[in-house]
């Protein structure tokens, strides 16, 4: 997988690291020194702030501010090296087709309110979890005060072949989730790996359970070839092609939404 560190904040409706950018930009992005593009009419409509005292609720679940923490499946900036020009979840055909935007759009349709959303690629946690300072690295994310956090990681974690590595990953993951949970008590959702790995997925389940989160198993999606981007279009790079395509992204969003409704 190819992973940048990049953050976007919106209000809606394998391994390259980029400098971290962050800002509340309402369906706009910071692209290094490049100015953010002007919002289209639909973007401007989507960027209308939430009305005071009008919470976004999915049943008993508050979802006015949603934080997505993932890897390239969640967010990947342009990379000519692998033939990827998007700045959204790899390898959806368009921003609105990645699982983040599909899920947020569904929540908006169900609740009648548009949540604020922050998206970040934290593949640096996956690759260097033992050295990851959650409070420092996620300071701006914590300041966002999310009511719902979607954690979609695991694919880039190196093979956990020893008791020591398994314990270290579990401890780091629990610390990450507890840091998020201690910040206003948001509901936390953790999903399994798109490419199933029993060792990693078992630890994801354990850590999620420890913080009272919702675990969503998406491992079965990888058994259906039609969920891969390579089944929808041709890619020069096999790594990009192995990511979920539009159908796979939609299935991930639906699985998470089902989990939220439980």
Q: Where exactly are the structural domains of the chain? A: 7-261
Q: What is the pLDDT of residue 229?
A: 98
pLDDT of 127-176, one tens digit each? 999 999 999 999 999 999 999 999 999 999 999 999 999 999 999 999 99
CB 66 within 8 A of CB 148: yes
What DSSP state is assigned to residue 37?
A: P
Q: How far apart are CA 155 and CA 133, in angstroms?
A: 20
Q: What is the pLDDT of residue 48?
A: 41
Q: What is the pLDDT of residue 54?
A: 57
Q: How far apart are CA 49 and CA 218, in angstroms?
A: 32
Tens of pLDDT, residue by residue, the chain (262 residues): 555 445 554 444 343 332 233 332 223 232 222 222 332 233 333 334 444 445 778 888 899 999 999 999 999 999 999 999 999 999 999 999 999 999 999 999 999 889 999 999 999 999 999 999 999 999 999 999 999 999 999 999 999 999 999 999 999 999 999 999 999 999 999 999 999 999 999 999 999 999 999 999 999 999 999 999 999 999 999 999 999 999 999 999 999 999 999 8
Q: What is the pLDDT of residue 7?
A: 52
Q: How far apart are CA 218 and CA 154, in angstroms?
A: 12
Q: What is the pLDDT of residue 138?
A: 98
Q: 148-152 and 214-216: which strand pairing?
A: unpaired
Q: What is the pLDDT of residue 140?
A: 97
Tokens of 258: 């089902």
Residues 6 or more apart from 247 whose CB is under 8 A from it? 226, 227, 231, 232
Q: How far apart are CA 163 and CA 143, in angstroms?
A: 35
**First-to-last C-alpha distance (Å) of the chain:** 31
Q: 116-121 and 148-152: which strand pairing?
A: unpaired
Q: What is the pLDDT of residue 127?
A: 98
Q: What is the pLDDT of residue 80?
A: 95
Q: How far apart are CA 86 and CA 91, in angstroms?
A: 8
pLDDT of 239-257, one tens digit each? 999 999 999 999 999 999 9
Q: What is the pLDDT of residue 8?
A: 52
Q: Calculate the CA 209 to chain-centre distance.
A: 19
Tokens of 116: 């604020």
CATH for the stretch 7-261? 3.40.50.1110
Tokens of 101: 């935007």
Neighbours of 239 (CB within 10 A): 16
Neighbours of 227 (CB within 10 A): 23
Q: What is the pLDDT of residue 51?
A: 45
CB 144 within 8 A of CB 185: no
């Amino acid at each position: 997988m190819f992973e940048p560190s990049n953050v976007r904040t919106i209000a809606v409706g394998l391994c390259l690291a980029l400098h971290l950018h962050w800002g509340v930009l309402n369906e706009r992005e910071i692209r290094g020194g490049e100015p953010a593009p002007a919002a289209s009419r639909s973007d401007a409509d989507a960027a209308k702030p939430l009305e005071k005292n009008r919470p976004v609720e999915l049943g008993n679940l508050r979802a006015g501010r949603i934080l997505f923490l993932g890897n390239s499946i969640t967010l990947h900036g342009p990379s000519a090296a692998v033939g990827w020009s998007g700045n959204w979840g790899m390898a959806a055909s368009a921003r609105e087709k990645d699982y983040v935007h599909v899920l947020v759009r569904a929540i908006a349709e169900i609740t009648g309110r548009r949540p604020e959303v922050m998206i970040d690629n934290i593949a640096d946690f996956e690759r260097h979890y033992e050295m990851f300072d959650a409070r420092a690295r996620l300071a701006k994310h914590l300041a966002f005060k999310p009511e719902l956090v979607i954690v979609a990681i695991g694919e880039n974690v190196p093979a956990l072949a020893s008791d020591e590595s398994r314990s270290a990953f579990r401890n780091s993951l629990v610390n990450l989730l507890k840091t998020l949970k201690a910040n206003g008590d948001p509901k936390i959702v953790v999903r399994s790996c798109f490419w199933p790995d029993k060792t990693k997925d078992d630890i994801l389940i354990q850590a999620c359970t420890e913080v009272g989160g919702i675990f969503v198993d998406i491992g079965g999606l990888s058994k259906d070839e039609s969920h891969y981007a390579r089944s929808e279009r041709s890619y020069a790079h096999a790594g990009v092609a192995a990511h979920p395509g539009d159908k796979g992204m939609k299935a991930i969003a639906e699985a998470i939404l089902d989990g939220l409704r439980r």
